[in-house]
Structure 1
Amino acid sequence: MSVKVTDFVKRPGVGREGRPLKVRANFFEVTSLPDSNVHHYDVTITPEVPPSLNRKIYCEFEALNENILATARPVFDGRKNIYSPKPLSFGENDAATFDITLPEDDGAPLGKRPPRAFKVKIKKAAVINMEELHRFLDGKCKSSPNILTGIMALDVLIRHKPSMMHVTHKDDEIMYATVGRSFYTNQISQSLFGGAEVWQGYYQSARPTPKKMMINVDVSATAFYESGSLVQMVVKLLNKRHPDDLRRGIPDRDRVKLEKSLKNVKIRVTHRENASKRSFKIVKLTNTAANATKFEIEGKKTDVASYFQKTYKRPLQFPFLPCVVVRKDTSLPIEVCEVVKGQRHIRKLNERQTADMIKFTCQQPHVRANKIMQGLDILNYRENEYMRQFGLQVSEEMAVVPARVLPAPKIQYHPSSRDAAFTPKDGSWNLRDKKVATGATLGSWACVVFGNFEMQAVQHFIRELVNTCQDTGMNIPNKNPPIVQGNPQGNIEQMLRQAWVKAGNMSKSPPQLIVCILPNTGVPLYAEIKRVSDTVIGVATQCVQSKHIFQAKKQYCANVCLKMNVKLGGMNSFIEPSQVPFISQRPTILMGADVTHPAPGGDESRPSIAALCASMDAKASRYAASIRVQAGRQEIISDLSGMVKELLKTFYQTCGRKPERILFYRDGVSEGQFEQVLDFEIEAVRNACASLDANYKPTITFVIVQKRHHARFFPIDKRDSDRTGNCLPGTVVESVITHPFEFDFYLQSHAGLQGTSRPTHYHVLYDENRFNADSLQKLSYHLCYVFARCTRSVSLVPPVYYAHLVCSRARFHSRNENWSDQDSESGGSVSSYGMVKPDLQKVIIFFNGEQKKHH
């Protein structure tokens, strides 16, 4: 019997279609891999402290035990594991306990004095057989816990030295911090709005590829709190210009906002000698100013300001500011506190900070490639004594990989268009001389203007919009819809109901659409409009930013028209059926699934939202959606069976046939969850089919779609790049940097807009439809041209893109959500999410609003 090499699909050979070329990828070949076994030890440090402190303890342990460690040079992951190239000599029983005392220093959790005496228990866990890893890379055995631990040991090995730099590096100006697989430094940093700053870092990860290991190196960036005076931080958080602007004290609303922003930030005090080493965490702010915050000392009541004047001969400059509370009985004036350097900013960034962050990280491909190469100098694999000890060597040259550029498909619009069928160039086109494939009729509609805008401008915009829609092939018998004006801070539900009634009365038919003109890009108003229209009234809405009203550009109106047409059941364009034979030859349903989780650091009781979208016709242009709310942070879709059943029924009602094949694209799953998701979700799809008919067994293909990875491609020849310097749309890579033997590939299907494009990684886990490399790559690429909301190819297949949009949209369906700038992913219990009205299940996915493009 032959050994089963993988639980998933094996690569069915490589593709041949398209123009071959070579690109650079940010992977560096491991030229020498440890041959001998690696020794794995389990570490327990008590009491428990964060990884950064664990590393200090390990450093001290290393210094005290050079006799045991010097010849081995083991590496530590900051938590539980030590890997060594040689066995460590602990005497008889492969275990030992060491007492370590740290010198007085910072690192105090929650204002308590840090525990300075630690017990470090080290115990032999396993011997990692590296020979098995070599066999896996050669495709001779399947993955196993031993192989995964071996790869993890290499990961820890390449990260060990940089992660210890914040411990061993004593320069106060230059700081280092490790977060996950990246290590950051303030050598390259920039201020963000509101007391934060962004640091550049380097991501590195050991990846198994055909016949060898590779190290994936990328630049990354994350936000930190700006260090220094806490008063300055308060000024920035409250968006003031100068500390003097705080002289009147802080209104209650600002104090609550400030407390939320400062909670858990570490500070040091400046009013006592030798106190600068010690750090405290801010628990909260006092309700009263420093000169009104009373406490008792030696039986007498005094306030914080008077106490500082008397005890430290230090009159407070800002007695009108609240104090920070660092533990139950300790309140400190803000002006004697300094923010500790190198603290990660874990709260969600607001709109302005996010914009600043994007500016910092958005780099053209050649700039990014150069930064990665500079990063290699900082990571300095060549002179890494730990890697040398293990026998690991890494090439300093970026990998050059074979790629192919797939040809774009032919797109079809209405036959009466002057430009009815054409092949787009460079992944984008426009609506000039084109009419939509099937134009919808808009007879019953209204417009709501949120804010005070001139009626003349609004009417002019509606005229332009109607004309553009008609030029583009829609039919609009009612050219003068009723217009309702309302207050954006008022009762949104009432205004939309009023518009709904007026639309119905005017046209004597059920309203189809409400156009909403919004005063700004803020989330709260938009979220409330969508909650009411989707879950209360059951009518499609089209939101438009007021800034576009005054110019009413043709191009903008055309984009809005595309969204309106599909919301009303029209079809914008489709691909020549001969170019998508998998869909056109036999009844086939495409499905896309995604789960979004509440933002990190928020309320744990918040739910996750699962969405499933599926195509409803032979052209894969119309989609319907199904949504469920489920337990927070759970990746597996609980009621997938029910959702699939719902959409199979809708497909049958729409087409009159049952799908014979299912192509299921699944977003948002990490490698560690592949097996679990596959087992559970394939079973759910099968159960859904069986529940409709015991003999109904369509063939299923299950593909994981990943955007959260660090693979980037850089054109070598200028001819192979688009105007942004990125690889051309249709670039596919399926060797050298992919899995040693499973069926996966990278596809960059969109044209670059700004920065370096991120290819999408497709990994086939299960395949009863017997795809070869060409057929699946081509189909996936061609589908990216029929995303209904824009005239460009998109970065991931539409079923998944729509599922992603549905998840984002469903977040708006709770009344309990708090859509403030600070935290626009918060609130909402499972029961408070509204159900979408059935008529809207088909159109919800073409939802509008100025969403950020996922490019």
Structure 2
Amino acid sequence: MSLTLTDYPLRPSTGTVGKKIQIRSNFFEVQSFMNGNVYHYDVSIGDDKAPPALRRKIWKAFEDNEGQALLNGVNSVYDGRKNVYAFQVLKPLGTDTNTRKEFRVELQGKDYKVSIKYAAQINMQELQNFLNKKSALTPNILTAVMAMDIMIRQMPAMTYPANLGRSFYTPQEKRSLPHGVEVWQGFYQSARPGVGKMFINVDVSATCFYESGPLPEVVARFLGRNSLDDLRRGITDRDRNKLEKFLRNVEVETSHRGEKKRKYKIHKLTPSTPDKTKFKTDDGRELTITQYFQQQYNLRLKYPFLPCVATRKDQYFPMEILFVVPGQRYIKKLDDKQTADMIKFTCQKPHIRSNKIQQGFTLMKYKENPLLQKFGMKIKPEMQMINARVLPAPAISYHNSSKQGTFTPHGGAWNLRDKKVAHGATLKSWSIVNFAHNLPKPVIERFIRQMSETFIATGMNVVNRNPPIMNANPQGNIQQSIYDAYMAAGRAAKVDPQLILCILPSKTVALYAEIKRISDTVMGLPTQCVQSSHVNQAKPQYCANVCLKVNVKLGGFNVQMSPQQIPFVSERPTIIFGADVTHPSAGDMNKPSIAAVTASMDPRAARYACRTRVQPNRMEQIQDLAGMVKELLITFYRAAGQKPERILFYRDGVSEGQFAMVLNEEVSQIQRACASLDKEYKPKITFVVVQKRHHARFFPVKPADADKSQNCPPGTVVDTDIVHPFEFDFYLQSHAGLQGTSRPTHYHVLYDQNKFTPDSLQELTYRLCYIYNRATRAVSLVPAVYYAHLLAFRARFHRKGEDWSDSLGTSESLDTEQQLASYAPVKASLNSVMYYM
């Protein structure tokens, strides 16, 4: 039976460990849906470039007029793209997949072609069988879930024009962000199979739009000016280029012809102002834009100092007659200030978020929806109550000489007071490079004294407490500055340098990126960057946090667990892998993606080695996984003196649609890597996908079951109701919430030769979250994957000649080979320490 149900492991049972609590989750139970057939039709409307909102209008016009004979009162739903679902057969088409009928539809004076043909019949009973563990997931069932998704989406899609995928947004709740962007709140909804039932998952979501309004005002805000008067002296070439990038393809509406508003897309900006931008009229005269608008429309320009806008059709407009159309999504990368403001807007305490979700549910009007009634679909108006469990916190250990060296943390967090790191490194040879010109030497010396004292108190051995200090120009030759500091450290301590501490003047990315590129790929030496503001204050708490990072960069580790608590790792030689692929920001189709793999090196799972590779843009599969795994297995063998008998591989960044690809490709690459070391070497492999990008949220029911942030407590695990009907997956919220509503992590087992029980995998995963080397709290996802994230993020800096000052992202014309070659590999000496911390 298991072979026919799924290619992935079945859930052996549900877990039993932990304190039972009741929680609410943002899943609404579908109490009933029709058992009969739904008929799927393939439809094409106009040209394929028409946006979904326009296609919906065309389909509506078709339903109301030409389509009446075809539909003949049969209810249908349309997804805005290619699919129409009807509750009865459309008789004129029958069920012949070769018969296609074409119609012409008129909408707002334009003619559109609508063509439609039968595609398939969906048996809804089959979906019920899947939910009841009686049927595998077939294409038919996937289509049934999709049809349900489209049914619940149709009304909001017609009511709210700004809808993207499974979310729709309303300008009722919005907030301006810096630089001409605003964030709108919206709601997400999706039909999700659960155990024995379908659910509708409803969540609050938010996304960014271009600010609407008069174009000159948007320009002033984008350039960070208080008012348009600040631009009277004109715009610099650099600002104009940035502005052009920001505005390219933005839709604007003209306002100079009264009711006759026309829409255009911005193509570029002119280098000149309206009184210097000339064009030829139809009768051959040469006029400036200013003269033309004065003569044609009797319009005197108020802002003649702004550039003109050019559209694709080579028409020129002064900015002041243009209005940015609302509801245009902004997909470029946000800068730091925009990101911080966006987080403030979206960060909501659990009870506020759950109320908002309930409001969203009401907005969707499921009960009043005639389509859902025809479909026999009833949705329970309350969030699903779930029996969850809270796993017990593990005991963690610092050095024996610490006061209370082994203890069980309470509430998922603890502090380092009177604690010494589990294994302290020795710091002999180091130096300081000061890039902040406003810091006097005595202030730096005081900071180094405080830093050395904290390092020693926290269990490191600092041999040289007076390292050489050098000043450097942040705009100068960074490579030379770091090389000079390297030589100075070696001369002062008469041994090879181990660390360079860099003091940065501000949080600019460019200097940090260049320091890391040089230290990681040219020098092969760990660096530790600190902000000048922290040097000024020299707080012990800050120094202790820096100590945690420096200790692991030098090969130490900070916290561990007794072997009895992680028997899977300690009883037999076992290696834990974490893997992630990160892609360049949306819209950048040139830069490579980066694959990062980390692997534990000891029976405590405290030390990790790592490898990175660049690979073609947006490639999700890890291209050279076999090579990376092979190198890390050799590193493990050198560190531990034996081959791992078991492999536990946590893989991040994979969506459900990619499970099969990842399982087939990546598990076989791991097996190939083992075989390449020795044909007989076949360790047992367990492969788990880790997902953070989902919309499941948990809310405690009783105040006694909530932590300080009003979230569910760390260790909350869910493996019933809202999980997969029969595959081995679970949600684990392993961290204590700081602000907002915590997001649990979803773990899904795709391959398991180690025969984990739900309890053993859930407990191991949760306990590992307590031994993350950079924090004194349990983290939200298993550390091996967390490290892979940090590693992939760091690898972006290993590229020569990158312009980090441009947050709008540059799209260069280098070909793929040149792009891949522009990243330098990390020096081998760093691959066995956690240099990216």
Q: TM-score, normalised by structure 1?
A: 0.95
Q: Partners in 1 of 2:143 and 2:242 — Cα distance?
A: 45
Q: Which residue of 1 aligns with 2:150?
A: 156
Q: Partners in 2 of 1:210 and 1:223 — Cα distance?
A: 35
Q: Partners in 1 of 2:811 and 2:754 — Cα distance?
A: 41
**Closer/same/farther in 2, CA of residues 839 and 826 from structure 1, 3 Å limit:** farther
2:35 aligned partner, one-letter code: D
Q: Which residue of 1 aligns with 2:521?
A: 535
Q: 2:272 aligns with which of 280, 288, 295?
A: 288
Q: Is the 8 A contact 2:699 2:712 kept in 1?
A: yes
1:469 paired to 2:452: no
Q: Is the 8 A contact 2:686 2:754 kept in 1?
A: yes
Aligned counterparts, 1:62-461, within 5 A = 62-64=63-65, 65-69=67-71, 71-91=73-93, 95-103=100-108, 116-166=110-160, 176-276=161-261, 278-297=262-281, 298-452=283-437, 453-461=439-447
Q: Partners in 2 of 1:487 and 1:656 — Cα distance?
A: 46
Aligned counterparts, 1:697-712, within 5 A = 697-712=682-697
2:26 aligned partner, one-letter code: N
Query: How far apart are 1:193 and its partner, in Å?
Result: 1.4
Query: How far apart are 1:759 and its partner, in Å?
Result: 0.2
Q: Partners in 2 of 1:91 and 1:233 — Cα distance?
A: 51
Query: How far apart are 1:73 and its partner, in Å?
Result: 2.1
1:511 paired to 2:513: no
Query: How far apart are 1:157 and its partner, in Å?
Result: 0.7
Corresponding residue SS for 1:289: coil
Query: How far apart are 1:70 and its partner, in Å?
Result: 6.3
Q: Partners in 1 of 2:19 and 2:780 — Cα distance?
A: 20
Q: Deviations over 1:581-620 (max 9, x none)?
A: 0000000000011000111112x12110001100000000
Corresponding residue SS for 2:41: strand
Q: Deviations over 1:217-275 (max 9, x none)?
A: 00000111121100100110111111111111111111001101110100011112333
Q: Partners in 2 of 1:824 and 1:735 — Cα distance?
A: 43
Query: How far apart are 1:656 and its partner, in Å?
Result: 0.5
Q: Deviations over 1:655-678 (max 9, x none)?
A: 000000000000000000001110
Corresponding residue SS for 1:736: coil
Q: Which residue of 2 aligns with 1:59?
A: 60
User: Which shifted more, 311-320 or 592-601?
Assistant: 311-320
Q: Is the 8 A contact 1:11 1:744 kept in 2?
A: yes
Q: Partners in 2 of 1:223 and 1:41 — Cα distance?
A: 34
Corresponding residue SS for 1:657: coil
Q: Deviations over 1:38-91 (max 9, x none)?
A: 100001112221112111211211221345446322111111101111112325
Corresponding residue SS for 2:163: strand
Q: Is the 8 A contact 1:566 1:846 kept in 2?
A: no
Q: Partners in 1 of 2:449 and 2:507 — Cα distance?
A: 23
2:138 aligned partner, one-letter code: S
> What value does the CA root-mean-square deviation take over the aligned residues?
1.3
Q: Partners in 2 of 1:264 and 1:718 — Cα distance?
A: 50
Q: Is the 8 A contact 1:72 1:389 kept in 2?
A: no
Query: How far apart are 1:840 and its partner, in Å?
Result: 0.8
Aligned counterparts, 1:707-718, within 5 A = 707-718=692-703
Q: Is the 8 A contact 2:93 2:118 kept in 1?
A: no
Corresponding residue SS for 2:537: coil
Q: TM-score, normalised by structure 2?
A: 0.97
Q: Partners in 2 of 1:313 and 1:759 — Cα distance?
A: 62
Aligned counterparts, 1:473-622, within 5 A = 473-602=459-588, 604-622=589-607
Q: Is the 8 A contact 1:101 1:117 kept in 2?
A: yes
Q: Is the 8 A contact 1:368 1:756 kept in 2?
A: yes
Q: 1:730 aligns with which of 686, 707, 715?
A: 715
**Closer/same/farther in 2, CA of residues 508 and 823 from structure 1, 3 Å limit:** farther
Q: Partners in 2 of 1:72 and 1:487 — Cα distance?
A: 74
**Closer/same/farther in 2, CA of residues 215 and 541 from structure 1, 3 Å limit:** same
Q: Is the 8 A contact 1:26 1:399 kept in 2?
A: yes
Q: Deviations over 1:612-662 (max 9, x none)?
A: 100000000000111111011110011100000000000000000000000
Q: Is the 8 A contact 2:2 2:10 kept in 1?
A: no
Q: Is the 8 A contact 1:24 1:713 kept in 2?
A: yes
Q: Is the 8 A contact 1:817 1:825 kept in 2?
A: no
1:548 aligned partner, one-letter code: H
Q: Deviations over 1:790-837 (max 9, x none)?
A: 111100001101111111000011013221252369768111001100
2:158 aligned partner, one-letter code: M
Q: Deviations over 1:328-351 (max 9, x none)?
A: 420110011000111111221221
Q: Is the 8 A contact 2:332 2:585 kept in 1?
A: no
Identity %: 56
User: Which shifted more, 244-253 or 561-570?
Assistant: 244-253
Q: Is the 8 A contact 1:436 1:573 kept in 2?
A: yes
Query: How far apart are 1:3 and its partner, in Å?
Result: 5.8
Q: Is the 8 A contact 1:608 1:632 kept in 2?
A: yes
Q: Partners in 2 of 1:398 and 1:418 — Cα distance?
A: 46
Q: Partners in 1 of 2:436 and 2:275 — Cα distance?
A: 43
Q: Partners in 2 of 1:302 and 1:102 — Cα distance?
A: 38
Query: How far apart are 1:842 and its partner, in Å?
Result: 2.4
Corresponding residue SS for 1:550: helix
1:288 aligned partner, one-letter code: S
Q: Partners in 1 of 2:284 and 2:836 — Cα distance?
A: 68
Q: Is the 8 A contact 1:625 1:845 kept in 2?
A: no
Q: Which residue of 2 aligns with 1:9?
A: 9
Query: How far apart are 1:95 and its partner, in Å?
Result: 3.5
Between the two proteins, the alignment pairs up a number of residues equal to 825
Q: Partners in 2 of 1:535 and 1:846 — Cα distance?
A: 12
Q: Partners in 1 of 2:811 and 2:628 — Cα distance?
A: 25
Query: How far apart are 1:551 and its partner, in Å?
Result: 1.6
Query: How far apart are 1:846 and its partner, in Å?
Result: 4.1
**Closer/same/farther in 2, CA of residues 533 and 368 from structure 1, 3 Å limit:** same
**Closer/same/farther in 2, CA of residues 637 and 539 from structure 1, 3 Å limit:** same
Corresponding residue SS for 1:635: coil
Q: Which runs of 5+ in 1 are unaligned?
A: 105-115, 167-175, 848-855
Q: Partners in 2 of 1:95 and 1:188 — Cα distance?
A: 44
Corresponding residue SS for 2:270: strand
**Closer/same/farther in 2, CA of residues 486 and 534 from structure 1, 3 Å limit:** same
Query: How far apart are 1:194 and its partner, in Å?
Result: 1.5
Corresponding residue SS for 1:295: strand
**Closer/same/farther in 2, CA of residues 12 and 91 from structure 1, 3 Å limit:** closer
Query: How far apart are 1:327 and its partner, in Å?
Result: 2.0
Q: Which residue of 2 aligns with 1:169?
A: none
